[in-house]
Amino acid sequence: MKKTPLLNSTISEMIAKMGHNDTIAIGDCGLPIPDCTKRIDLALVKGIPTFEDTLKAVLLEQQVEEVIVAKETKEVSPHVFEIIKNEVGDVKITFISHEELKEELKNCKGVIRTGEQTSYANVILKSGVVF
């Protein structure tokens, strides 16, 4: 049995297969996920699981060197931006428009869909290296 805390086998497998600069995204339940991108749908009901809980769980396993956030997040949902900032610590944060973020989803290895119903509760995590 796995020793690390993340129990979702699909997310864990995706992270294990990632290389340097590969990306995955975590999004609210309304984020449009391109058909070409793997969808990991965790959404159960409104608010479950939360964006914050999902981000915390993913960060237990993934080494992240940069996060990409829609600039609208900081403006419209500043509490979501604070969650991201607090969870990633001193990791570089890059801001792009929400439209650009949605386009970038095509390049992600996968998008984890949460039950979050807060506007702009979305982030792209760029994989770093552990050495």
Q: Which residues are annotated as a binding site?
A: 28, 98, 120-122
Annotated binding-site positions for substrate: 28, 98, 120-122
Q: Residue 55 corresponds to which tokens in the numbers above?
A: 């981000």
Residues recognised as catalytic? 20
Neighbours of 79 (CB within 10 A): 10
Nearest-CA neighbor of 107 among 22, 48, 44?
22
How many Å apart are CA 131 and CA 128, to the nearest integer? Answer: 9
